Structure 1
């Protein structure tokens, strides 16, 4: 490795050495150069590329910070486009909300919890009892698996035909207990 010390911090290295030091490939180093990575000397016509490791490290730290903050090298036109995209997305969300096409997360979580609870109960109640009767004395693993799969499919088929979620499950509870009053009125 041909490394010569510089008066400033860091070492002057070529592209291959820089890639090795930073643990990246040569195409990555070339991408860095296209994105304004500091170069001590550009290569060409028998002349090697030269980079200062301290300068590159500092540039990489700044580049990583910029990427993390999502403000990497955005010009005015890009920022305008991002703002328009955000405004469009907000307008689409507002429209979906006005059309009652959005479901609050709490409502969805409650409905899914109930549905998965029904599936779990159905699987635990139906499969072991029905499968046990069919598997008494069975020693062939292939037949054993086939019976279990049939019973699982049967239980899931029965659950698919049931309404696992009803309208009351989708209602949101309010601070004033409106949901409980609504359920009482529906049951009457």
Structure 2
């Protein structure tokens, strides 16, 4: 096949592909991913691989793939970096244009809104429903009245601003005291 060198045999591209049972294009892909090459080929010059080095690289490559650690190509790393930079720039633009809000601001507003909904349903609904249901024995009528009262409470909440502008201001202390 080729010359015996140290712990491997020197092989050309076709011989290396045949040894590993792969297509020459697959070997090209391996080289792009870091497969060791003794000498790169060009016009009139053959590729040279050391069979032992290629075998050791392939073993490491297989272990990396099965461990979920894949070595990225430089093109893939560049693409990922560009995507990250683009995402960061888009987020910065959205923040400057006030198209997004900090998570803390949303959490504060949602907690206030849900508190209002809970208070309304717990305080208003039972008192209004109780007056309408005194002496009622029909399950169908009980359900209908309760649904009407729930709908009425939710409609009232829908017409109310549950979140004031101050609820969205993060400059306040957590205790609600202003600086």
* TM-score bracket for this pair, using the shorter chain length: 0.5 to 0.7
CA RMSD, aligned part only? 2.7
Cα distance, 1:140 vs structure 2: 2.0
Q: Which residue of 1 aligns with 2:68?
A: 66
Q: Calculate the TM-score normalised by the size of structure 1.
A: 0.55
Q: Distance in 2 between matches of 1:86 and 1:154?
A: 48
Query: What 5-or-longer segments of structure 1 have no aligned partner?
Result: 1-58, 182-188
Q: Which residue of 2 aligns with 1:56?
A: none
Q: 1:130 aligns with which of 128, 131, 139?
A: 128
Q: Kindly tell me: are residues 60 and 121 of structure 1, through their superposed partners in 2, closer, same or farther at Cα, counting changes over 3 Å? A: farther
Q: Kindly tell me: are residues 84 and 142 of structure 1, through their superposed partners in 2, closer, same or farther at Cα, counting changes over 3 Å? A: same
Q: Calculate the TM-score normalised by the size of structure 2.
A: 0.57
Q: How do 1:134-173 residues align onto structure 2 when only pairs under 5 Å count? A: 134-173=132-171
Q: Distance in 1 between matches of 2:85 and 2:158?
A: 40
> How many positions carry a matched residue from both structures?
118
Query: What 5-or-longer segments of structure 2 have no aligned partner?
Result: 1-60
Which string of whole-angstrom CA distances, capped at 9 and with x for unpartnered residues, describes residues 76-114 of structure 1?
322222211111110100101111222112211111111
Q: Distance in 2 between matches of 1:120 and 1:102?
A: 27
Q: Distance in 2 between matches of 1:174 and 1:137?
A: 50
SS at match of 2:79: helix
Q: 1:92 aligns with which of 90, 93, 116?
A: 90
Which string of whole-angstrom CA distances, capped at 9 and with x for unpartnered residues, describes residues 149-176 of structure 1?
110010010011011111111111357x
Runs of 4+ aligned structure 1 residues displaced above 3 Å come to 59-65
Q: Which residue of 1 aligns with 2:107?
A: 109
Cα distance, 1:62 vs structure 2: 5.0
